[in-house]
Structure 1
Amino acid sequence: MNTSHEHDHAEHKHGAHRHKHDAAAFVRTVADACERRGLRLTPLRLRVLEMVAASDKPVKAYDLLDQLKDERAGAAPPTVYRALDFLLENSFIHKLESINAYVSCHHPEEAHQVPFLICDVCAGAIEICDERVAALLAGQAQEHGFKPRAQTLEVHGVCANCAK
């Protein structure tokens, strides 16, 4: 029987690994990155970041808005979307276009391109951190003279837990 550590090591060896997400540590990392880059992490941006980080699955903007309305009178869609746009533009979160939801980034200190495995049953998403995938896509784009601006590869299927 594999221990969790052996399982993580085996996945890492093959270039894909899961992260155990610590929401508080993630928020601290983003706050530090904002300070270093001279970015303004307003209380609202921070709150939206905390809500995305606390979610164990990709979260939709209207779910964030519902949570904010409970905390702040007058919270409106533009409020949430402006905060999400700031977090996206600075690579602190990712948007999964196919399910129109947001997920925190496992490496918020650096801009990077990553694929996600999205479960069609439970709506969970796994960020695959494998530089070979990004390098392959960048190399193919370069061969075709294509200059990519953004890329999120989304692979849909069924996760191991749901397949049981």
Structure 2
Amino acid sequence: MHPHHHHDHDHDHGQCRKTALDRVESACARLGLRMTAPRRTVLAALLHDHVPMTAYELIDRIAATDKRPSPVSVYRALDFLIANGFVHRIESRNAFVVCSHEHEAHGNGAIFLLCEDCGVAVEAEATDLLTRIDGVARASGFEVKSAVLELRGLCAACRAKGAALAHGLDHDADAAE
């Protein structure tokens, strides 16, 4: 697991976590859903950074600061969080990440930009693309229940780091000649 070395929000990381927790808490209150302690614990662990985590990584993260939860309790919490649009499952990694958008405004779809170097997952705003995908499905008589599109590549920070390393290596090679 790689540390989150950059941030895609305008707020500092602590503010990002608070905003996400507040958003989920208010949605639960509005929808009459119970945000139990195990669900809150799993959500808080996922909010540690923007790198998707497997259920067992979540268990280890929680166990580092609290009583070790059972896999069943973590999976139940994840099921609730996913069913209500608060968390997405990144299929290719069998991992989970907190939804960074208002669920009602975003529908049942998500587009993730997944960095192959640092592991960060950024949820992209692409409502127009999700609307087009839904239209294509409806034209075929298909009802989309969930759509998670995953795009893999390098985030801006890793691209910059790679360019800096390449430039440094080119400079070192030039100096050696």
Runs of 4+ in 1 over 3 A off after TM superposition: 18-21
TM-score (norm 1): 0.82
Alpha carbons 1:52, 1:104 under 8 Å: kept:
yes
Matched residues in 2 for 1:42 and 1:159: separation?
35
Q: Decide which structure has the larger Cα Rg and report it.
A: 2
CA distance in 1, matches of 2:57, 2:118: 16
Residue in structure 1 matching 2:118, options 108, 119, 122: 122
Q: CA RMSD in A?
A: 1.6
**Matching residue's letter, 1:139:** G
Counterpart of 2:129 in structure 1 is 133
Cα deviation per residue 1:43-83 (whole Å; 9 max; x = unaligned)?
Answer: 1101111111122311221111112334115x211111100
**Any conservation in 2 of the 1:19–1:106 contact (CA below 8 Å)?**
no
- For structure 2, the 5+ residue unaligned runs are 1-7, 161-177
Matched ranges for 1:45-84 at <5 A: 45-70=39-64, 71-73=66-68, 75-84=69-78
- Is 1:157 the counterpart of 2:153? The answer is yes
- TM-superposed deviation, 1:109: 4.4
Question: Could you say which residue in structure 2 is the equivalent of 1:146?
Answer: 142
Gaps of 5+ in 1: 1-17
> What is the DSSP-based 3-state SS (H/G/I as helix, E as strand, rest coil) of the residue aligned with 2:47?
helix
Instruction: State TM-score, norm by structure 2.
Output: 0.76
